[in-house]
Copies of this chain bind each other. A is one copy, B any other.
Amino acid sequence: MILRHMLNQSTDLNRLFHALADPARRAMVERLSRGPAPVSELARPLPMSLPAAMQHLDVLEAAGLVRSEKVGRVRTCAIEPQALSQAERWINARRTEWEHRLDRLGEYLKTLESEGDGDGSDE
């Protein structure tokens, strides 16, 4: 099952980053980071109809960023913290990769320097 998890990770990240690529959806996530809220409260500040806001909410739920539960006639939405951390991990992995690379490059340049090779060009 961990194998399946890895295979689907790409799709997960697609949905995740896609969900975050819209300002209305990010606004919803920002609001929910401060606590749960019903659909109408998420929709109110947005410059669009209620159904449009609902569709954004669907995208957030499909991405696993938001979970919601309906009690009576009001659906209360809450953020799903671990979803964002997957995106964070991907970004961090990239950063450590290029940082290591730059470290190695720095070492290499230092080596050249101490060998007295006079080509000091960079880039």
The interface of chain A, by Cβ under 8 A from chain B, is: 10, 13-14, 16-18, 20-23, 26, 29-30, 33-35, 79, 81, 84-85, 87-88, 90-92, 94-95, 97-98, 101
Per DSSP, chain A at the interface is: helix
Nearest-neighbour CB distance to chain B for A77, whole angstroms, equals 13
A34 to B103, CA, bound (A): 12
Contact check, A84 vs B79: say whether CB atoms are below 8 A apart.
no
Task: Using CB atoms, name the residue of chain B closest to A11.
Answer: B23
In the complex, the answer to whether B30 meets A21 with C-beta atoms within 8 Å is: no
Which residues does chain B contribute within 8 Å of A26, judged by CB atoms? Answer: 10, 13, 90
**CA–CA, A84 and B23, complex, Å:** 18
